[in-house]
Amino acid sequence: MNAVDFGVIGLGGAWSFHGNATAASPMIRFTAMYDVNYRHALKMSRRYRAGPVTVYKDLEGFLGSDIHAVLVTVPHAYHEETVSLCAAAGKHVLCEKPMATTLEGCDAMIEATRKAGVRFMVAENHRFLPAHRYIHDAIREGLIGEVLLVRAYEGVNEIAGLSQPDSWKGDINKAGGGSFMDMGAHKFATLEWILQDRVEEVTAMLSRQAVSHPEKGEDNALSMIRFSRGTIGEVVVSFTQQTTPFNSLEIYGTQGTILENHAWERPVRIYSYHKAMGDHRREWYEPELEHAPFPHYYTISVRHEDEHFAGCILEDREPEFSPDDAKSAVACVLMGYLSAGTGRAATRGELVELAEKEGTGSLYQDLGEHIPARPGLPEVKRMKPIGFDRERAEEIMNGQDLDLLVATSPINVYYLSGLPTLPTAPNPILFALRNMYPNVVLMRRDGHLALFHWALFRSVDEFCWANEYKGIIGQREAKRAVWSKLKRWGFRGRRVGVESSAPKWLVEHLSSKDPELEVVTADQAFLDLRVVKSEEEITLIEKATAVTEKAITACMEAAAAGISDNDFLKLGKQTMLAEGADGWDHLTLSIGGSDPEAPGLGTVAEQGDILRFDFGAVCKGYVSDVNRHLVLGPVPPEAEELVGSLIQLQEFYEQHVKPGVNMRELNEEAIAYYKSLRPEGLTFVVGHSIGLECEEQHLFGTMGVAEGVFKENMVFEIEAWEPFRDTLIGVEDCYVVTGDGCRRITTLDKRITGRDGA
């Protein structure tokens, strides 16, 4: 084999440097391309004139082709998964820098490529720049003596990318921070190689100077560093430079100084006392090197880099720039992020300790809060999600093989974006006009959200957390906006999940625009998203429950002969609003044998009646569900005994629910237990999760039994009923699954109570 056949995954800006740099190389042929946007890949293949290229619609076909190696140029957060897939397919891998966004990701890539027996190198082009090679050799030869101080800088202009919410550039989760990760990885990899030493301590200062967007990382970063042998220095990077990109380096030693600037025609100047400099001793000397100002020095360095890796494949040798070197550069950046979070210097040892205890991915959880914005810089506001969890969304969509979810119902639009589309919103106009002015949320596999909302609603920043949003008027604009976004994201022919209630006009429009689009019903995906609650969701359900209990208590205290169901309804509503609820989900009640599902007919309570109050208040869309019984007069012994047995049944569930318990098996055990208490009992038990809907998802009961297990932070209710005289009586309480069991949210006495009805 005289040349290496490469394929490329990801055809963004980085690909252009590789494609141009190797077009005339006798060692490298790019013969295959894959990108999530198939049409973009086709366009890039037409621009590549160095040889024929096959464009693949799916990654499986791409990896199954006869290419020898893969160039990976996808966003940073996807390096780990992509490299592992390529290695498993037996392909050598050249991956763009930074290696990964976490140390754990770096380790996984090293393990995957080692296990597969393939060559692996991170495409750190600065490592192969002739100017840097000269500096490396000069220091190794001792031309400036012992290095005391280094200063490194790189600057580009990425303001446009930072300003676009749907751009991955600088996105804390997708890029792994901002400019410090993007360019700091260059600087640290270069400095550690040039000095043949490791950075052991980093103190970093991060800032948003151009764009204050909460989902984007720093656009400028300054760090002070200390190497293991005592050399100190600084690394400064900027996304806001208003010139063509360039890099610079200053190195001060005991016998001389080296200055480098990639904007110069001759990029290196050295002043040395060393006798090896000959006639140039003790004067500034500019060696002749292969170089040209931007963008040409990128082309030069990438050509050397890619040909070095191709040579390693052809000659079966290890790359000079090892995966451990690339991982160390990422570690230096992560030390900087750790420093920004703690406000002090961070050491390599502290970073390793964090990796062992929490994982270095934890650094990104609050990173945005440690990046101050320049005073006076307008802030791009983004609300924090109440319950939506991006990582869980990605896991669910991968598990159900969905490329996109389309939400159109008020509940799911609200859950995904925060747009106030519920009937209990401060002004329910968005709910009332949902058919004429539809609201739509699109969610990609990576959890990225795009919202299309009624254009007259101008307070999106105050309510919503969607990554991007756009105002529309009417169904026609909604169809156009959704289809335009699908095309831009490269989602032609993909698998798209919609709700079973999705409007026909939208589903038909998508299918007509792209007959290859696979549109499937994905109600379960939405339910799976919502079933595990955040701490804020649990707090809201607890608040709604407390309000509901006060409304029930108020009705029970007011109960007397002559009080009508309308009186109770009025009192329940007034109490809920007075206690801070946004509204009510249901006010179910019965007096004696009256219909509990249709109160408000004027039924009047009489002595001896059993009163049932089944209420649910709403707080920020989150619902409660509480039921209690009261007898106007003494409690019939049979009723007291029956409710006591139902309480025992309910408590059987309570005692056995914990994460991992199978719902079907528990339900069968509980019913068998109840039969041992009341062999002739006619009970029916219902368990359902509760959140933005009262009966969000049935876990067990008359609607069937879910195939699954309880998970921590699920909120659910258990209700058990039996006929008694001309009504139903029972118990109904709400719970949250904890780490080792479950906790009851409701606090009212479970027993049926009686009082003087006069």
A 10 A CB-CB count for 7 gives 24
The model's confidence at residue 325, banded by pLDDT at 50, 70 and 90, is very high
689: helix, coil or strand?
strand
DSSP tag of 36: S
What pLDDT, in 10s, does the model give residues 727-752? Answer: 899 999 999 999 999 999 999 999 99
**CA proximity to 51, closest of 87, 17, 4, 92:** 4
Q: Note whether 4-122 and 535-755 share their fold.
A: no
DSSP tag of 564: B
The arithmetic mean of pLDDT across residues 373-389, rounded, is: 85
Domain ranges of the chain: 4-122, 127-370, 390-531, 535-755
Angle between helices 130-140 and 296-315 (to 10 degrees): 70
- DSSP letter for each residue of 706-718: -SSB--TTBEEEE
Is the per-residue pLDDT at 302 higher than 90? yes
Phi, psi of 658 (to 5 degrees): -165, 165
Q: What is the mean pLDDT of the chain?
A: 94
* pTM of the predicted protein model: 0.69
A 10 A CB-CB count for 516 gives 9
Q: What is the pLDDT of residue 285?
A: 97
Give the CATH class of 390-531. alpha beta
Number of helices and strands (H, E) in the chain? Answer: 22, 31
The arithmetic mean of pLDDT across residues 354-375, rounded, is: 92
Secondary structure of 44-92 in HEC code, one letter for each residue: HHHHCCCCCCEEECCHHHHHCCCCCEEEECCCHHHHHHHHHHHHHCCCE
What pLDDT, in 10s, does the model give residues 229-253? Answer: 999 999 999 999 998 888 999 999 9
The model's confidence at residue 123, banded by pLDDT at 50, 70 and 90, is very high
H-run or E-run covering 569: helix 565-578
616 vs 666: CA distance, rounded Å: 27
Q: State the greatest distance between any 2 C-alpha atoms of the chain, in Å, as a whole number.
A: 116
Length of the chain: 758
The model's confidence at residue 381, banded by pLDDT at 50, 70 and 90, is low
- The residue type found at 722 is E
- The residue type found at 359 is G
The arithmetic mean of pLDDT across residues 359-367, rounded, is: 92
Structure tokens at 16: 């252009």
Options 3.30.360.10, 3.40.1350.10, 3.20.20.100, 3.40.50.300; CATH for 127-370 is 3.30.360.10
**CA proximity to 529, closest of 652, 657, 426, 443:** 443
Strand partners, 444: 404
Q: What is the pLDDT of residue 757?
A: 61
A 10 A CB-CB count for 49 gives 8
Phi, psi of 135 (to 5 degrees): -65, -45
679 vs 244: CA distance, rounded Å: 84
CB 113 within 8 A of CB 87: yes
Q: What is the pLDDT of residue 755?
A: 85
Q: Sheet containing 147-155: which strands, arranged edge to edge?
A: 284-285, 268-272, 256-261, 246-253, 147-155, 232-238, 220-227, 199-207, 346-347
**CA proximity to 239, closest of 209, 214, 260:** 209
The arithmetic mean of pLDDT across residues 520-549, rounded, is: 96
Secondary structure of 421-463 in HEC code, one letter for each residue: CCCCCCCCHHHHCCCCCCCEEEEECCCCEEEEEECCCCCHHHH
300: helix, coil or strand?
helix
389 vs 20: CA distance, rounded Å: 40
Q: What is the CATH architecture assignment of 535-755?
A: Alpha-Beta Complex (3.90)
Structure tokens at 212: 């204050």
Structure tokens at 529: 């998203």
Q: Which residue has the tokens 């739509």?
A: 440
- DSSP letter for each residue of 389-418: -HHHHHHHHHHTT-SEEEE-SHHHHHHHH-
631: helix, coil or strand?
strand
The arithmetic mean of pLDDT across residues 604-630, rounded, is: 95
Options 3.40.50.720, 3.40.50.2000, 3.30.1490.20, 3.40.1710.10; CATH for 4-122 is 3.40.50.720
The arithmetic mean of pLDDT across residues 110-115, rounded, is: 97
The arithmetic mean of pLDDT across residues 248-263, rounded, is: 97
**CA proximity to 28, closest of 337, 328, 308, 246:** 308
Is the per-residue pLDDT at 703 higher than 90? no
The model's confidence at residue 490, banded by pLDDT at 50, 70 and 90, is confident
Secondary structure of 91-113 in HEC code, one letter for each residue: CEEEEECCCCCCHHHHHHHHHHH
Mode of pairing for the β-strands spanning 120-123 and 92-96:
parallel
617: helix, coil or strand?
strand
302 vs 297: CA distance, rounded Å: 8
What pLDDT, in 10s, does the model give residues 91-101? Answer: 999 999 999 99
H-run or E-run covering 180: helix 179-195
A 10 A CB-CB count for 638 gives 10
> Dihedral of CA 303/305/308/313: which sign?
negative
Lowest-pLDDT range, 135-139, 166-170, 524-528, 657-661?
166-170
CB 674 within 8 A of CB 681: yes
The model's confidence at residue 474, banded by pLDDT at 50, 70 and 90, is very high
Count Cβ neighbours within 10 Å for each residue of 300-320 and write b for 16 or more, e otherwise. Answer: bbbbbbbbbbbebbeeeeebe
502 vs 514: CA distance, rounded Å: 18
**CA proximity to 191, closest of 329, 42, 55:** 329
Q: What is the pLDDT of residue 758?
A: 57
Structure tokens at 445: 């596999």
The CA-atom distances, in angstroms, between 298 and each of 133, 473, 532, 566, 594 are 14, 46, 48, 78, 81
